Structure 1
Amino acid sequence: MKKNRLGKSDLYVSEIGLGCMSLGTDEAAARRIIHEALDQGINFFDTADLYDRGLNEEIVGRALEGRRSEVVLATKVGNRIIPGRDGWVWDPSKEYIMEAVKGSLRRLRTDYIDLYQLHGGTMEDPIDETIEAFERLKEQGWIRWYGISSIRPNVIREYVKRSNIISVMNQYSILDRRAEEAVIPLLQEHGISIIARGPLAKGILTDRGGHKAAGGFLDYAEEELHALRDQLQQIAESKRSLTHTALRYCMDQPAVGVTLAGASSVEQLRENAAASQAPPLTEEELGKIRSVSKANRYAEHR
């Protein structure tokens, strides 16, 4: 599978990554998916300390034992779980980040994290303090690089201006093109990679995902989604499946370092991974896709 350089770092990641949130809590099933991903050439695995209250990191860590050197392992921090209480609180403080990394390292059964990401962010955060925490962890060797996971252009601008982030995880798909207006040009200018999450738009942009259009998506009504699915299938014709068309839309964007797809079965994982062998979208196809889909814009967080 093709590998891309993540930002200006020394990390080279498979163009398709595995979003581990969808693995679930059946450890045997999750292990099969993770091992199949490795066999398919996927080397980028993304989790978070929040997923299943840390259990996801534990499952990923155990599944990767003996193969740690083969992977680029990413996790996230900032959503603080307080024992004995439901939910979580937002905590981007230096003190918490410096402490939370120890738990992630233990659960992941590793002595370093390749990419440590802030799991959110607001303009009210102590941004310089947060950056200082990541820089300190990098100096100490606990993490190799850091980035943020955010859909807020105003927050992203601050980190681009003040920090050494190499990536921004951002929701991006044919149905959510907001990043094209506010985020992609900025990151391209500064050599920072996008990690595209949600490329299949909650399954709507898969071959069997028509039923998932119920209730709409962002500024699309259900009827619009069904019509768009038909148009996209016509554009792809016999070249590739709808799933692969949706994945390639992100993969073929030069600013995207890795397209993150979840999988809850080995079959789904294989289908996603096969997008790397599907023909890239032509300029004509890209033009058609952009003409039939909406150039969404951020109404908030600008």
Structure 2
Amino acid sequence: MNKRRLGSSDLYVSELGFGCMSLAPELGSENEKILKTALEQGINYFDTADLYGFGWNEEFVGKTLKSVRQDIILATKGGNEWNQSKDGWNWNPSKKHIKSAFKDSLKRLQTDYIDLYQLHGGTIDDPMDETIEAFEELVSEGHVRYYGISSIRPNTIKYYAEHSNIQSVMMQYSLLDRRPEELFSYLKEQNISVIARGPVAKGWLSEKVFDKNPEDHYLNHTGSDIQQKVEKAKHILHDKNITHAALQYVLSQPVVATATAGASSVEQLLENIKTFDRSALTKEEIATLNTLFPAEIYETHRA
């Protein structure tokens, strides 16, 4: 699988990354099969977070990938903390919490360093300079190779881009959510990569779309509207289904380093990987998809 450079770092990530949030205890032995299949198929970027499964996710990923630690790029995220009843979480980007949470992540992941540590959110009202100081200290201490943020807010992204050494911004990005595109030229100029999460929009950009309730919504899109658009798209896609087209569309953007998709079965993962056996999207196909799924912009978090 082809790899792309993450920002100006020396990390080269597989074009398809694996979003570990899709792993869960109820999947049983399928979890290990999924991760091993991802490795066999050339995926080297694995993304988790301390929030997932109350830490179970990091523990499982760390245990399963420990034997190949030197061969993979391991990413995790911090900044949230569960409340005492564990029925919700609080946002805490303080230096004290970031550094404490990071130590806990290291233990769960059974490693002594993280390739990419990401702030799991963020707003313009945060003590951002303090947060940046925490990440810089983790780098200088040798525990973090590089850091980034996971945010969709333009004002927050621009502050970090101009006041820190972030290498990446993780953003929800797909044909159904093209709002991040307005920032792509800016991020490219800053030599900061995009890590695209949700590239198949929770299955709305897959053949599963026709099994979904047309009354449901994805962002501002109704289920019935998405189904109609996917049906139209199928008529212009040659050797690709909508999943392949959705992933290729995201990766057609040079600023995107990796499309990080989850999978709850080996079959689903292999279907995603088939994307790279298909011909690239043509200019005409991209133009048609742009028309079918028009871009919007963020209305808030701008000033």
TM-score, normalization by structure 1? 0.96
* Correspondence 1:157-236 to 2 at 5 A: 157-181=158-182, 183-212=183-212, 213-236=214-237
Percent identity reads 52
Distance in 2 between residues matched to 1:210 and 1:180, nearest whole Å: 27
> Cα deviation per residue 1:163-217 (whole Å; 9 max; x = unaligned)?
1000000010001000112x21211111110000111011011023223354122
CA separation of 1:266 and 1:85: change in aligned 2, threshold 3 A: closer
Q: Tell me, what secondary structure is at the counterpart of 1:235?
A: coil
For residues 278 and 253 of structure 1, the distance between their equivalents in structure 2, rounded to whole angstroms, comes to 17
Structure 1 residues 85 and 174, CA gap change in structure 2 (3 angstroms)? closer
Q: Look up the SS of the partner of 1:208 in the other structure.
A: helix
Distance 2:51 2:114 in 1: 16
Q: Which amino acid aligns with 2:97?
A: Y
Task: Find the residue that maps to 1:67 and give its secondary structure.
Answer: helix
Once residues 245 and 221 of structure 2 are traced to their aligned partners in structure 1, the CA distance between those partners, rounded to angstroms, is: 19
1:301 to 2:301 alignment: yes
Give the corresponding residue for 1:72: 73
| C-alpha RMSD over aligned residues | 1.2
Task: Specify the alignment match of 1:277 in structure 2.
Answer: 277
In the aligned structure 2, how far is the partner of 1:16 from the partner of 1:143?
23
C-alpha contact 1:27 1:59 (8 A) present in aligned 2: no
Against the structure 1 CA distance between its residues 116 and 27, is the aligned structure 2 distance closer, same or farther, given a 3 Å change threshold? farther
Residues matched between the structures, number:
300
Q: Which residue of 1 aligns with 2:242?
A: 242
Q: Please tell me whether the aligned partners of residues 159 and 165 of structure 1 are also in contact (alpha carbons under 8 angstroms).
A: yes
Higher alpha-carbon deviation: 224-233 or 70-79: 224-233
Q: 1:128-175 deviations in whole A, cap 9, x for unaligned?
A: 000000000000011100000001111101101101000000010001
**Counterpart in the other structure of 1:63:** 64
Question: Is the contact between residue 44 and residue 72 of structure 2 (CA under 8 Å) also seen in structure 1?
Answer: yes
Give structure 1 stretches of 5+ with no counterpart: none
Q: TM-score, normalised by structure 2?
A: 0.96
Q: For 2:29, give the aligned amino acid.
A: A
Alignment of 1:23-102 (within 5 A): 23-25=23-25, 26-102=27-103
Letter in 2 for 1:18: F
CA distance in 2, matches of 1:223, 1:100: 42
Say if 2:209 and 2:227, in contact at 8 Å, map to a contact too: no
- Residue ranges of structure 2 left out of the alignment (5+ in a row): none
Bigger mean CA offset, 88-97 vs 273-282: 273-282
